Amino acid sequence: MADRPRFGPAGIPPSFREMKASLLDVPRLLREEGLDAFEYQAVRWGEKPQIKQKDAEAFGIKAKENDVILSIHASYFINFCGNKDIVRASRNRLIACALASNWMRASPVVFHVGYYGGRSPRETLEHCKNELKSLVEELKSMGINSSLGPETMGKLSQFGSLEEIISLCEHIEGLKPVIDWAHLHARDVGKFKTIEDYREVLITIENRLGSEYLKDLHCHFTKIEFTNKGERQHHTLDEEGYGPNFELLAEVIIEFKIAPIIISESPVLDVDAIKMKNILMKKMKF
């Protein structure tokens, strides 16, 4: 559990890559920037881990030495709403990422549940409940302790409304909701306009899942562009005309006295992570 609000990027920032930093350099570089969280991107992985166990373990040690909390984003090629072959491959991909998360001591394993396809939202929910319950039991039998984090999604064709993600977490032990504020904003056609809009999400999580799920809530944040079908493109915090507004979320974080992990998915990953941290710190002082 996070001891304080933490901020970090979704993946290695471009500036780190320009200096040809290795993965093991990343925790130190983040600490030097004042950041203390990192979401490892396994988004192109297949059905086996694409990192060696010794390298993942070394990375986890470096993160701990530098007080950087780790999570991992699983493969984009996961769809628990598909046919048997697609679900089988999806299970294997998520297991590969969960195995690597165990090596790194990273949690949660963030993942996209899937697409409705030809099923109704209700049918999709029941189908996914069954598949994910079975998967969680398999992970436990393997000794994998990382939480799975189903993420709220930004396109109307995707399973992943707030209600759907909470319902999964209500029925399956070992799942923790990942709140992507930009996705919810896009999915609900610009929902987050007032503090009450943010407050409503946190109250719903607390009432349905309990305060323990809220205290160290894992979040993604960036500004976003959307159409009537949902998300289109992420934007930086400095770009005008897009939401959601992090300042309003910061107010609610202070009000609820929680310590979320905020992962920046902005086009300028670490730059906006630092800006969000500074916004929250400034508000906490006054």
DSSP string, 227-279: ETTEEEEEE-TT-TT-B--HHHHHHHHHHHT---EEEE-SSSHHHHHHHHHHH
Grade residue 2 by pLDDT with cuts at 50, 70 and 90: low
> How does pLDDT run across 204-247, given as a tens digit for each residue?
999 999 999 999 999 999 999 999 999 999 999 999 999 999 99
Domain membership flag for residue 54: yes
pLDDT tens for each residue of 20-30: 999 999 999 99
Residue 21 lies in a domain: yes
Residue 109 in any domain: the answer is yes
pLDDT, tens digit (0-9, with 9 covering 90-100), for 154-192 = 999 999 999 999 999 999 998 999 999 999 999 999 999
Q: Is 177 left (phi over 0), alpha (psi -120 to 50) or beta?
A: beta
Q: How confident is the model at residue 82 (pLDDT cuts 50, 70, 90)?
A: confident
CATH of the domain at 43: 3.20.20.150
Average pLDDT over residues 91-97: 97
For the stretch 251-285, pLDDT in tens is: 999 999 999 999 999 999 999 999 999 999 999 98
Q: What is the mean pLDDT of residues 49-67?
A: 98
Whole-structure pTM value = 0.96
pLDDT over 80 (residue 200): yes
Categorize the per-residue pLDDT at 68 as very low, low, confident or very high, splitting at 50, 70 and 90: very high
Q: What is the pLDDT of residue 118?
A: 83
264: in domain: yes
Q: Is 212 exposed, middle or buried (0-12, 13-18, 19+ CB in 10 A)?
A: exposed
pLDDT at 114: 95
Residue 160's SS3 state is: coil
Report the alpha-carbon distance of residue 261 to residue 241 in Å, rounded: 26
Contacts of 227 (CB under 8 A, 6+ apart): none
Domain that holds residue 226: 6-285
- How many domains would you assign to the chain? 1
Give the pLDDT confidence score for residue 175 in this predicted structure.
96
In a domain, 256, yes or no: yes
Q: Is residue 1 part of a domain?
A: no
Taking residues 21-43, what's their average pLDDT? Answer: 98
3-class SS of residue 175: strand
What is the strand order of the sheet 261-264 is part of? 6-9, 261-264, 218-221, 178-180
